[in-house]
Amino acid sequence: MSVGHPPTTAAPAHHEPSFLGKYIFSTDHKIIGMQFLFTSIIFLGLGGILALLVRIQLAWPHAEIPILREWFVDNGGRMTESFYNMLFSMHATVMIFFVIIPFLTGAFGNFTIPLMIGAPDMAFPKLNMMSYWFMWPAFVLILASFYAEGGAPAAGWTSYPTLSSITMPAGEGLHSPAAPNSGHGQIFWLLSLTCVGISSMMGSVNYITTIINMRAPGMTLYRMPMTIWAMFITAILQAFALPVLTVALIYQSLDKSIGTTFFLPDGLTFGNWSAGPGGGQTLLWQHLFWFYSHPAVYIMILPAMGMVSDIISTFARRPLFGYRAMIYSIAGIAGLGFIVWGHHMFQSGMDPRLGTGFMIATIMIALPSAVKVFNWLGTVYRGDIQFTTAMLFALSFVALFIIGGLSGIFMAATPVDIYIHDTYFIVGHIHYVLFTSSLMGIFGAIYYWFPKMFGRFMNEFWGKVHFALTFVFANGVFFPMHILGTAGMRRRIPDLTATAFESPLLTLNQVMTISAILLGLTQLIFLANFLLSLFLGKQTTERNPWHSNTLEWSAPTPPPHGNFDVPPVVYRGPYEYGAVPNRTEDYLPQTLKFDGPVPAASGH
Amino acid sequence: MGKTWAVFFAVNMIAMAALCFAAPAMGMWMPEGVSTHAHDVDFLFDVILWITAFFFFLTEAILVVFLWKYGCGCKEAPATGVPGFLKPIAPLIDTPHKVEMAWTIVPAAILLYIAFAQIGTWANVKYQSRRQQFLGEDKTPVTIEVSARQFEWRMRYPSAERFREWLKNPNDSEVKKDIDAFPRNPHADDVHVVNELHVFGEPVKGPDMDEWKGNPVLVYLSTRDVLHSFNLPQFRVKQDAVPGKTIPVWFVPTKPNTVKIESGSSTMWLDGRRDAKGEPDRMLIWDIACAELCGWGHWRMIGRVYVHRTQDDFLEWLEQAGKSEHGRTAMTR
């Protein structure tokens, strides 16, 4: 039985650091987590605005858009096609690399890992600080790309060559003959993502080391909460997949700057301009990119699954059903996640026989996902559900992840994918997984851990209003995307009136856009609730307001530097909820030494 | 509280399911398939749709029922002397391993069925080794090189004369070689048109005169600038065009949509029609709609598929196109 370090967690004597040292150049995992949290919320706003502009253009392709009209006088008051392409490219880039991943691994990974395993901090606090500070060049570069000559990149978040990568030689100004936005803006994008990658890699190394080495005495691997298991497996995924993306980003940067041809074949011609000798392969980029970006999809969902498991178990007052099966299915998803990247490339010109293999692996990923859903349902079964805002978001994660999971099977099936590939079906699928699943999980986690982070509650009433409206409007905008995809509507088009088969879909698009605007406005309720609760929220009077078992609730609120006043020792698994004889509470915290009936492992 | 939220979840789910059921009636579903393999693709889509619909209703219903039942804050008194985590969860789950085995093995079997059911159709339309067999050994496919550019489809056909020769000797090995070498071997008399894919079929003699049989189509797809995707939604055809590669694409149409119209000295071919009179039918206008982001003009990189009613119509069009200078022959909308 592996046990962590002997207790070294007695609050280390330290003097109170200055404001700058405490909040800006902090090595405290909780502060770093909050730094990630605040920047992610800011970028969520930016990504949301970009999305709304996309939706507005789709619904009213020929109308003048009030404020934007002034920018596009030359284009008759309508946004240009390049601007539209830039909007969805940057929406996806911002949401994936600057919102979801930093939210999950940056904010909640940092905040939860040391607290939930009973450690005073991360294994490498300075590396942790660096991982946040490496995000800043990324922030600056990605925002600067909007002001670059030609504008921010518009080749999609996938940045497929040759549209993204073909560039005139430096002597001719590094412009792209393929698209105005693929010149300087694209170079900013590549550098920015490289910095995000370095940041994530520092985080991963730190998380893996911390979880392996810094667990409190008694915190065996099979006593770790699902949040920690998910963060652990996610960090491993990230550590193994990221180098490939970094290599690809560097290759494309070299193609664009010093004239290498990793992704450029022979004989490229743009108008009257012919590129020099090539010899590269455009498909190579797709393989490298998706070798990272498919595991990245799981990086963007597994931590949310972990947090949701903890929230559901806490508020259902039931042990998590099938604890070990939950761990194995996360591991299964992660393992299969490495051998399914080709399902993004079924129609790409990759050998179709490879497609068959990728299809079978991909469809089998639905299996561990299904097991997880059944286990969540089993957890709620015969529970005593407390409908807190956090619980509602966690339940909606389950309800809507089912849709996102099932719609994936359509695209995994190669012949069906022929028809729905690159349509709104995939757009619907990704938003069910990333918005209505991951982001719902993130909202749940914010409401859940807010009292521990800041010592105050968020307002429950407005939290529920936020939940109900988000649920309705998110479904209102994302569910019809499946219908659009089934009708064949292509993704990444600014105007669907150009074809006979897409034109009839305009009305539905207008309904979706109205829903999207309302969804955006609903998030203002969240923002106000979040900011006001920081200063005015009801103060938490006890350490463990939710009566939860995991270690972070045994720390003072908010936890000081060093986290625990009493070094925690773990005696039991994290999910022992239910009535116990000789005990008034219906839960057994992990630190509790209790001489009642010896509980079975909370899984089996 | 629990009942309210159970109803809230249920209403949302039912609304979404209702939208799915209503969409086909509102004209927002897959357009009618007009190639021989479209039926297979649609069948597989429906199989997955019904299986996933079943599990959607099953799991969401379980969730809603649990919220209704266990969210009332009126938990039954705890069984005496047995902690919650030791209490048998239910008769059904008394032996949790069995239940877990069941909900692992049953979905696994269904998923494997879904996966293996796909392979045949996928192989027919994508595997090189299946091409001859799928298109028919003794048929001469309409052979077209399609070169995608920002933002148009450039088509190259063999001349009418050369194509007639091919039609006469479909099994001749020289002809087969010629067809295979078509993308590498441009002739001076090749016919070039833009954004128009012309193919044909032939009415079949039989008791039912409405029957019509399409001639196989073989497209050699390439590009010289960026990625594009050759997307014929009604034909359930989609294939990316990749710089540096020539990728064969094949299908067999099952329905014509083009009629010949003589007006004075000129002859025109109009798509979207069953006969020379009458308004075009939107369901018979078949776009070639680029499906891979290729730059600012991506959305309007649109061509049309013209399926001629007879071989003679097609050959007549091909002859006329060979004489035309502008590379645009049919009348669009």
For an interface test with B, give the residue of A274, A381, A419, A461 to mutate (most B CBs within 10 A). Answer: A419
Pairs of residues, one from chain A and one from chain B, whose beta carbons lie less than 8 Å apart: 324
Chain B contact for A76 (CB, 8 A cutoff): no
Task: Identify whether A108 is part of a domain.
Answer: yes
Strand B191-194 and strand A269-270: pairing?
Answer: unpaired
Using a CB-CB distance cutoff of 8 angstroms, which residues of chain B are in contact with residue A396?
A: 9
Q: Which residue on chain B is closest to A80 by alpha carbon?
A: B296
User: What pLDDT sits at residue B208?
Assistant: 65
Q: How sure is the predictor about B330, in pLDDT bands with cuts at 50, 70 and 90?
A: low
Task: Give residue B91's pLDDT.
Answer: 41
Q: Please give the pLDDT value at position B326.
A: 56
Interface touch B83/A81, C-beta < 8 Å: no
Residues in B touching A422 (Cβ below 8 Å): 229, 231, 238, 291-292
The answer as to whether A545 is a domain residue is yes
Whether A492 is in a domain gets the answer yes
Name the token pair of A49. Answer: 């605005």
Residue A46 in domain: yes
**Mean of per-residue pLDDT scores for chain B:** 88
Query: How much is the pLDDT for A418?
Result: 97
**Strand pairing partners for B228?**
B241
Whether the CB-CB separation of A25 and A136 falls below 8 Å is answered with no
Q: Is A490 on the interface with B (CB under 8 A)?
A: yes
Distance from the Cα of B162 to chain A's closest Cα (Å) equals 29
User: In the predicted model, is pLDDT for residue B130 greater than 90?
Assistant: yes
Given this model, what pLDDT does residue A593 score? 86
The amino acid that residue A409 corresponds to is: I
From chain A, the residues in CB contact with B10 under 8 A are none
Write down the pLDDT at residue B277.
77
Distance from CA of B55 to the nearest CA of A (A): 8
Chain B within 8 Å of A422 (Cβ-Cβ)? yes
Q: Does A373 touch chain B (CB under 8 A)?
A: yes
Into how many domains does chain A fold? 1
Considering only the beta carbons, identify the residue of A163, A384, A495 that sits closest to B295.
A163
Backbone angles phi, psi at A511, to 5 degrees: -60, -45
**Is pLDDT above 60 for B120?**
yes
Chain B contact set for A403 (CB, 8 A): 16, 56
Chain B residues lying within 8 Å of A498, measured CB to CB: 289, 299-300, 302
CA distance A392 to chain B (A): 9
Closest partner residue to A579 among B59, B83, B90, by Cβ?
B83
The per-residue pLDDT for range A443-469, each reduced to its tens digit, is: 999 999 999 999 999 999 999 999 999
Residue A374 placed within a domain: yes
CA-based nearest residue in chain B for residue A412: B115
Note whether residue A406 is domain-resident.
yes
CA distance B232 to B214: 16
- Enumerate long-range contacts of A498-503, CB under 8 Å, 24 or more apart: A498/B289, A498/B299, A498/B300, A498/B302, A499/B287, A499/B289, A499/B302, A500/B272, A500/B282, A500/B285, A500/B286, A500/B287, A501/B31, A501/B233, A501/B234, A501/B287, A501/B289, A502/B289
What would the mean pLDDT of B145-155 be, rounded to a whole number? 95
- The reply to whether A379 touches chain B by the CB within 8 Å rule is no
Model pLDDT, residue A581: 67
Question: What's the pLDDT score for residue A14?
Answer: 55
Q: Is A277 helix (H, G, I), strand (E, B) or coil?
A: coil
> From B281, which residue of chain A is nearest by alpha-carbon distance?
A500
User: Strand, coil or helix: what is B85?
Assistant: coil
pLDDT of residue A229: 98
Q: B261 forms bridges with which residues in the sheet?
A: B268
Contacts of A500 in chain B (CB under 8 A): 272, 282, 285-287
ipTM above 0.90, yes or no: yes
So what's the pLDDT on residue A23? 80
Residues of chain A with confidence (pLDDT) below 70: 1-16, 581, 595-604
Query: Of B16, B127, B295, which is closest to A178 when you measure between CB atoms?
Result: B295
Using pLDDT thresholds of 50, 70 and 90, give the confidence band for residue B327: low
Contacts of A315 (CB under 8 A, 6+ apart): A385, A386, A387, A388, A390, A391, A394, A546
Closest residue in A to B61 (Cα–Cα): A399
Kindly determine whether residue B298 and residue A160, on different chains, have CB atoms separated by under 8 Å: no
Does residue A407 sit at the B interface (CB-CB below 8 Å)? yes
Does residue A355 sit within a domain? yes
Q: Which of B12, B293, B332 to probe by mutation at the A interface, max A CB count within 10 Å?
A: B293
**Interface touch A322/B100, C-beta < 8 Å:** yes
- Topology annotation, domain B139-323: Immunoglobulin-like (2.60.40)
Contact yes or no for B125 and A381 at CB 8 A: no
Q: CA nearest A372: which of A316, A428, A312? A: A312
Residue boundaries of the structural domains of chain B: 2-21+31-71+98-126, 139-323
Task: Report the chain A residue with the minimal C-alpha distance to residue B90.
Answer: A382
For CA atoms B22, B28, B33, B39, the dihedral sign is negative
- The CATH number for A431's domain is 1.20.210.10
At residue B265 the predicted structure's pLDDT band, cuts being 50, 70 and 90, is confident
The residue range of the domain holding A532 is 31-266+279-554
Q: Quote the pLDDT of residue B99.
A: 81
Please report, as a single letter, which amino acid is at residue B116: F
Helix (H) or strand (E) holding A366: helix A366-380
Look at residue A597 in the predicted model and tell me its pLDDT: 54
